[in-house]
Chains A and B, each alone.
Chain A
């Protein structure tokens, strides 16, 4: 819990006070003990969060490792390994006070040196952390429980980069001076988190056990967590139905099973816990060549899409039509920027205006299971109704990555996390400095607009909401008008649990934040 704030530096931002709100714990009194059985899909390649960042790794390893901060559902920082923090008035110096009783799972104390070292390691191994840390000039540890980040220029979302998946704390005494990639400890991860790695039977399960020396008194409650690896979606649903597992994290069953499973007696579901990630889906439209290089054509695509149908039928009512580049949970989202309602007539008119001559465009679905395949079929039909000739391209995950990162597509499905702030998760998809082959997550569409580049550059370093908001509101208007991509839905991935599992999702990071608050009624 937040104790003190640094007195010396003048505090800015109304961030600290809200640290008291620990999400939405239920009213009942937690009972310690019990075993949690959860599903993990697909099996993660590794659990060393500093080295591997895929979804399942973050979900399991969020129990083992911790970040300096956590975020509530409104994305206000909560104490993690830092118990308090302060920002200098010029927005260039951040001072974190660390909790004093945290230890690594091998018993060594967690200190400021570990933080300095983690930043150094992650800059080499963690692509997103490297990007987030570009403006950090130095990280120092004046005493064992104080860390000072000095920035070369202000960076608005800086307090938003300390979540466990974005900047996990890595033990210096285990990794310093070793080859990080081949360090044997990668197979037996050691963190400061509420649960410790115990056993991994590849292809079957991962077992975590309670950390008895956790730095938050009384927590965690559970004795152990089993993450079951069940490769078939239908079999995962059955495992929940038959009571063999009690927790289905978001995205672990096919969408059409969600309503059925949520209605099973004793099952509860929540769409909360994804606010930090805000998965936003859209169609990449290749701005470089073909019909999609034409702005009127791209606008036509946006008008041709029936987003309500997609949400109601393909996603069983989950999600929200996306009105522009910013998800509604991202800072400075402007609902007034919306433009593209479903309007096939307007789409046809714009197609005519664009001079489209009936060329076939290739549509690349996301190879993530049935729901995405069905969505691609719905979109294909929408586009064909508007008069666009569409050919669906079949591929697997590796093929999808290659085609998008080599720009070999006309229209391609994607969805990306936005991390709460436009400077962290939005700008990367639209600024021209992010046009580079080899990554499926940058400006893949090849959109280039100097005014947009400038706005994102300014917005990142402007100090304070009042300075940042107008910049980002203007850029939303420009982007919506130019339609570099066709935004689809703000996705929701409900977490389904047995109702006896309490306080599993208490923050905006959801299940990825670990099971530190979770308990099971017995």
Chain B
């Protein structure tokens, strides 16, 4: 087990390195550079101004030496400096990480728990009205664009009913502390976490349902039934547990996107997270910051892949971690 994890980490570092090099060149293929963007926003700029900015961004250096410098600082676990934001990249990401993890984590929990529950329910009642209703609703949320669902939710719950706040992480300037603050943040979290969660929930519902239906036709389920076990126990212990593997795979994939996967939701709800930081950095060609976010989110994907493999074993001891 330990040597397995160690090997995977070593592999992960190589993959990460490849990702950094690839992204480094990829984002430089986009037209324009941060100096031009900043000059553009200033509404004025002469050659001296742009040359000055390029020097500030170290863009006057040849590409290979820029890459070498970046890899060098990476090796020291330093993600570099965002000249545009005048702050170290690690600080910028660190400031935004909690908000994103809270949002995507809640959405993850909502989608996984509701998805498996409703999926199991639909499988058990396959062919009935309940099944049709559940799969229908799931399909609807899966097929509708996320931003549209978000905006409609805002129109209904914020504008019409005035139940939930439409934007932000907490009530600005209210000076809440302790439990009041937690509740306030939770209040702000409801809409974004639900809209994001419902999208993923749809996937889990369908996956759980079809997987359970498949498993329930297998011989060992017949055996269990023949033993005289109750239907509930059969479904929980024998069917669901065996049907969970594909769901775990999918959850592992979703967990990998926890860091960068909520750009749309964060934008619509003005949630101060990493997704928006990344999107802004992309538009502004803030190379260091963009690379930093890429590195952190790729690292996250690698970590969750590893975790998924370990969880497989817990769910199904027949699988060897090797």
Q: Which residues of A contact B (CB under 8 A)?
A: 35, 37, 42-43, 45-46, 52-55, 125, 127-128, 130-131, 181, 186-187, 201-205, 207, 224, 226, 228-232, 234-235, 238-239, 241-242, 244, 395-403, 405, 416-417, 436, 438-442
CB contacts (< 8 Å) of B50 on chain A: these are 438-439
Query: In the bound complex, what is the Cα–Cα distance between A512 and B268 (angstroms)?
Result: 26
CB contacts (< 8 Å) of B45 on chain A: these are 127, 438-441
Residue in B closest to A428 when the chains form the complex, CB atoms: B44
A201 touches B43 (CB 8 A): no
CB contacts (< 8 Å) of B96 on chain A: these are 202-203
B151 touches A234 (CB 8 A): yes
Query: In the bound complex, what is the Cα–Cα distance between A196 and B84 (angstroms)?
Result: 22
With A46-B86, A238-B154 as contacts: A54 and B38 at CB distance below 8 Å: yes
Interface set, chain B 119-166, CB cutoff 8 A to A: 151, 154-155, 158-159, 162, 165-166
Residue in B closest to A127 when the chains form the complex, CB atoms: B49
B31 touches A43 (CB 8 A): no
- Is B303 an interface residue, CB under 8 A from the partner? no
Question: A412 to nearest B CB, angstroms?
Answer: 13
B31 touches A181 (CB 8 A): no
Binds A, one of B167-175, B202-210, B252-260, B312-320: B167-175
Q: Quick one: which of A399, A436, A440 contacts B47, CB cutoff 8 A? A: A436
A201 touches B46 (CB 8 A): no
Q: A202-B92, A400-B32 are in contact. List 9 more A-B contacts (CB 8 A).
A: A35-B173, A130-B48, A130-B49, A204-B168, A235-B270, A398-B40, A403-B31, A440-B39, A440-B40
CB contacts (< 8 Å) of A54 on chain B: these are 38, 41-43
B159 touches A242 (CB 8 A): yes
Query: In the bound complex, what is the Cα–Cα distance between A131 and B33 (angstroms)?
Result: 24
CB contacts (< 8 Å) of A52 on chain B: these are 38, 42
B40 touches A397 (CB 8 A): yes
B168 touches A399 (CB 8 A): no
With A231-B270, A401-B40 as contacts: A203 and B31 at CB distance below 8 Å: no
Q: Quick one: which of A43, A226, A238, A400 contacts B158, CB cutoff 8 A? A: A238
Question: A236 to nearest B CB, angstroms?
Answer: 8
Interface set, chain B 39-64, CB cutoff 8 A to A: 39-50, 52, 56
- Is B200 an interface residue, CB under 8 A from the partner? no
B158 touches A205 (CB 8 A): no
A224 touches B173 (CB 8 A): yes
Residue in A closest to B155 when the chains form the complex, CB atoms: A238
- Is B36 an interface residue, CB under 8 A from the partner? yes
CB contacts (< 8 Å) of A181 on chain B: these are 56
- Is B78 an interface residue, CB under 8 A from the partner? no
A127 touches B42 (CB 8 A): yes
A203 touches B276 (CB 8 A): yes
B46 touches A439 (CB 8 A): yes
A235 touches B269 (CB 8 A): yes
Query: In the bound complex, what is the Cα–Cα distance between A207 and B173 (angstroms)?
Result: 9
Question: A57 to nearest B CB, angstroms?
Answer: 8
- Is B280 an interface residue, CB under 8 A from the partner? yes
10 residue pairs A–B, Cβ–Cβ below 8 Å: A45-B84, A53-B42, A125-B52, A127-B48, A203-B99, A204-B172, A231-B266, A238-B155, A242-B159, A397-B32
CB contacts (< 8 Å) of B41 on chain A: these are 45, 53-55
With A52-B42, A207-B173 as contacts: A242 and B272 at CB distance below 8 Å: no
CB contacts (< 8 Å) of B272 on chain A: these are 201-204, 229
- Is B182 an interface residue, CB under 8 A from the partner? no
Interface set, chain B 1-54, CB cutoff 8 A to A: 30-33, 36-50, 52
CB contacts (< 8 Å) of B267 on chain A: these are 231-232, 235
Query: In the bound complex, what is the Cα–Cα distance between A229 and B172 (angstroms)?
Result: 11
Residue in B closest to A207 when the chains form the complex, CB atoms: B173
Interface set, chain B 206-258, CB cutoff 8 A to A: none
Query: In the bound complex, what is the Cα–Cα distance between A241 and B48 (angstroms)?
Result: 44
Interface set, chain B 254-299, CB cutoff 8 A to A: 266-270, 272-273, 276-277, 280, 283-285
CB contacts (< 8 Å) of A405 on chain B: these are 36
A401 touches B37 (CB 8 A): yes
CB contacts (< 8 Å) of B84 on chain A: these are 45-46
Query: In the bound complex, what is the Cα–Cα distance between A159 and B273 (angstroms)?
Result: 44
B47 touches A230 (CB 8 A): no
CB contacts (< 8 Å) of A201 on chain B: these are 272
CB contacts (< 8 Å) of B31 on chain A: these are 395, 398-399, 402-403
A397 touches B37 (CB 8 A): yes
Query: In the bound complex, what is the Cα–Cα distance between A433 and B41 (angstroms)?
Result: 23
Question: B85 to nearest A CB, angstroms?
Answer: 6
Residue in A closest to B282 when the chains form the complex, CB atoms: A396
A127 touches B39 (CB 8 A): yes
CB contacts (< 8 Å) of A234 on chain B: these are 151, 268
B86 touches A186 (CB 8 A): yes
Contact string against A for B residues 58-74, beta-carbon threshold 8 Å, 1 for contact and 0 otherwise: 00000000000000000
Residue in A closest to B82 when the chains form the complex, CB atoms: A45
B30 touches A398 (CB 8 A): yes
- Is B307 an interface residue, CB under 8 A from the partner? no
Q: Quick one: which of B38, B56, B266 contacts A45, CB cutoff 8 A? A: B38
A241 touches B159 (CB 8 A): yes
Residue in A closest to B46 when the chains form the complex, CB atoms: A127
Q: Quick one: which of A42, A46, A187 contacts B280, CB cutoff 8 A? A: A42
Query: In the bound complex, what is the Cα–Cα distance between A71 and B70 (angstroms)?
Result: 47
Query: In the bound complex, what is the Cα–Cα distance between A401 and B273 (angstroms)?
Result: 27
- Is B109 an interface residue, CB under 8 A from the partner? no
Q: Quick one: which of A125, A204, A439 contacts B39, CB cutoff 8 A? A: A439
Question: A330 to nearest B CB, angstroms?
Answer: 16
B37 touches A441 (CB 8 A): no
CB contacts (< 8 Å) of B56 on chain A: these are 181
A238 touches B173 (CB 8 A): no
Query: In the bound complex, what is the Cα–Cα distance between A402 and B45 (angstroms)?
Result: 13
- Is B183 an interface residue, CB under 8 A from the partner? no
Residue in A closest to B162 when the chains form the complex, CB atoms: A242
Query: In the bound complex, what is the Cα–Cα distance between A244 and B172 (angstroms)?
Result: 10
- Is B321 an interface residue, CB under 8 A from the partner? no
Question: A122 to nearest B CB, angstroms?
Answer: 12
Q: Quick one: which of A53, A187, A395 contacts B43, CB cutoff 8 A? A: A53
Query: In the bound complex, what is the Cα–Cα distance between A442 and B48 (angstroms)?
Result: 13
Question: A127 to nearest B CB, angstroms?
Answer: 4
Q: Quick one: which of B36, B273, B284 contacts A203, CB cutoff 8 A? A: B273
Closest 9 A-B residue pairs measured CB to CB?
A398-B32, A203-B272, A54-B41, A127-B49, A128-B44, A402-B32, A53-B42, A399-B31, A401-B40
With A242-B159, A439-B46 as contacts: A401 and B36 at CB distance below 8 Å: yes
CB contacts (< 8 Å) of B151 on chain A: these are 234
Query: In the bound complex, what is the Cα–Cα distance between A125 and B38 (angstroms)?
Result: 13
Query: In the bound complex, what is the Cα–Cα distance between A453 and B41 (angstroms)?
Result: 27
Most chain B C-beta atoms within 10 Å of own C-beta, residue among A125, A399, A403: A399
Question: A77 to nearest B CB, angstroms?
Answer: 21
Question: A34 to nearest B CB, angstroms?
Answer: 12
CB contacts (< 8 Å) of B168 on chain A: these are 204-205, 228, 230
Query: In the bound complex, what is the Cα–Cα distance between A438 and B54 (angstroms)?
Result: 12
CB contacts (< 8 Å) of A45 on chain B: these are 38, 41, 84-86, 284
Query: In the bound complex, what is the Cα–Cα distance between A416 and B49 (angstroms)?
Result: 18
CB contacts (< 8 Å) of B32 on chain A: these are 397-402
Question: A281 to nearest B CB, angstroms?
Answer: 13
Question: B154 to nearest A CB, angstroms?
Answer: 6
CB contacts (< 8 Å) of A207 on chain B: these are 172-173
Query: In the bound complex, what is the Cα–Cα distance between A231 and B169 (angstroms)?
Result: 13
Question: A196 to nearest B CB, angstroms?
Answer: 16
